[in-house]
Amino acid sequence: MRLLALFIVFGLGGSLHAQYLWFSDSAFRAGAPNSGRLWGYAFGDYFHKSHSDSLGRGGNNQYTNVRQGQDEFQFRRIYLGYDYNITKQFSTEFLFAAEDDFPGGDVLANNKLTAYIKLANVRWHDFLFRGNDLIVGLQPTPAYPYMTESLFTYSRPVERTITDIRRTPSYDLGAGLQGRFHSKDKSIVYGYNFLVGNGTGARPQALNADVYKWWYGDVFIGLLDHRLIVDYYADYQRQHWMSGAHGHADRQMSKLAVIWVDRQFTVGAEGFVNRLKQCEAASYSRGIDTLDGRATGLSLYAHANITGAKLRAFVRCDLYDPNRRYDNSSYSKYAALYGVSTSYEPNNKETFLSAGLDYSPAPQVHFIPNIWYNRYEGKQGGLSGAAAHDYDLAFRLTFFFTFGKLYQNPAYSYYPYMH
Q: 332: pLDDT confidence band, cut at 50, 70 and 90?
A: confident
CB 243 within 8 A of CB 273: no
CA–CA separation, 159 and 165 (whole Å)? 8
Find how far residue 398's CA is from the centre of its chain.
18
Contact 393, 354 (CB under 8 A): no
State residue 18's pLDDT score: 45
- Sequence-distant (6+) residues with CB within 8 A of 265 are 302, 303, 304, 305
**152 φ, ψ to 5°?**
-80, 85
367 CA to centre of own chain? 21
Please tell me the predicted confidence (pLDDT) of residue 194: 97
- Does residue 21 have a pLDDT over 60? no
Give 147-195 pLDDT, tens digit per residue. 888 888 787 899 999 999 998 999 999 999 999 898 999 889 899 999 9
pLDDT at 137: 97
Q: Give this prediction's pTM.
A: 0.89
Give yes or no for residue 269 having a pLDDT over 50. Answer: yes
C-alpha dihedral over 384, 387, 388, 393, to 10 degrees? Answer: 130
* 51-92 pLDDT tens trace: 999 999 988 788 988 999 999 999 999 999 999 999 999 999
CATH class of this structure's domain 2-403: mainly beta
Q: Are 77 and 98 in contact (CB under 8 A)?
A: yes
Residue, of 245 and 144, whose pLDDT is higher: 144
**How many residues in total does the chain contain?**
419
> Residue 128: how many CB atoms within 10 A of its CB?
9
